């Protein structure tokens, strides 16, 4: 009887040790900056934004010396040759109930439903707008992470790429400045995964690098949504 109890005690201890190891290796991940609820620790799915973030080149931030907005071409160039400025193209894409001043190009008014940075609804009226078009990867950030080495045509492409542009609340956009993922995230937590995935997609598409802190912040957010796909555009 004593021998049986000893065997059972040893088996119980072994099972407890295995269970503890399982909790350490595959337990619940702590909530992260994305605001996503705790769930199984995020593992990058093939083709996911998380996998792409892990593959981005990491370097230090270069000096901002020489940066001017004009280095990225004139604002809102018609790079797709549809005879509409890029700004109006993005407004048409992101606003609802769009009204036009001239034909179907110049947006006169509309509604930004659930602004991705605040989660609020924002009215757009040309000339009195509370809506900005944000460069998700700020142009000065891009300048410090590879774009200063490009020719002007490539910088103009980045500045007008719909993949890198979102209609957003103007005051929040201006508080963002040229922040990257390590220094700024939308206050509206449900949009953080999509926002960071878009930054990753832009940096991957244009071959821009990230700092170590930036990549860590990207991975921290995207680990809460490991199946988030890269947006395309």
pLDDT profile of the chain (233 residues), mean per 10 = 38 38 32 39 77 97 96 93 95 97 91 97 93 98 98 97 97 94 97 98 98 98 96 83
Determine the pLDDT at residue 168: 98
Determine the pLDDT at residue 4: 39
Secondary structure of residue 194 in the 3-state scheme: helix
d(CA 213, CA 53): 12
**What pTM, to 2 d.p., does this model score?**
0.80
d(CA 61, CA 165): 22
Domain boundaries, the chain: 27-71+133-222
DSSP letter (8 states) at residue 83: S
Q: Which of 31, 42, 30, 50 is nearest to 181 (CA)?
A: 50
């Amino acid at each position: 009887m004593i021998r049986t109890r000893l065997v059972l005690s040893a088996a119980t201890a072994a099972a407890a040790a295995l269970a503890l190891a399982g909790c350490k290796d595959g337990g619940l991940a702590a909530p992260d900056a994305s605001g996503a609820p705790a769930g199984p620790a995020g593992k990058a799915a093939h083709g996911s934004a998380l996998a792409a973030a892990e593959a981005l080149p990491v370097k230090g931030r270069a000096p901002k010396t020489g940066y001017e907005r004009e280095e990225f071409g004139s604002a809102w160039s018609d790079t797709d040759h549809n005879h509409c400025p890029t700004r109006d193209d993005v407004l048409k894409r992101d606003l609802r109930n769009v009204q036009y001043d001239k034909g179907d190009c110049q947006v006169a008014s509309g509604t930004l439903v659930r602004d991705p940075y605040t989660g609020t609804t924002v009215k757009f009226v040309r000339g009195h707008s509370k809506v900005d078009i944000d460069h998700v990867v700020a142009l000065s950030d891009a300048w410090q992470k590879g774009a200063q080495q490009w020719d002007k045509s490539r910088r103009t492409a980045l500045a007008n790429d719909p993949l890198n542009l979102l209609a957003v609340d103007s005051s929040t956009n201006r508080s963002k400045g040229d922040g990257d993922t390590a220094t700024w995230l939308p206050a509206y937590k449900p949009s953080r995964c999509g926002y960071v995935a878009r930054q990753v997609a832009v940096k991957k598409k244009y071959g821009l690098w990230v700092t170590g802190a930036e990549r860590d912040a990207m991975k921290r957010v995207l680990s809460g949504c490991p199946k988030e796909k890269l947006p395309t555009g």
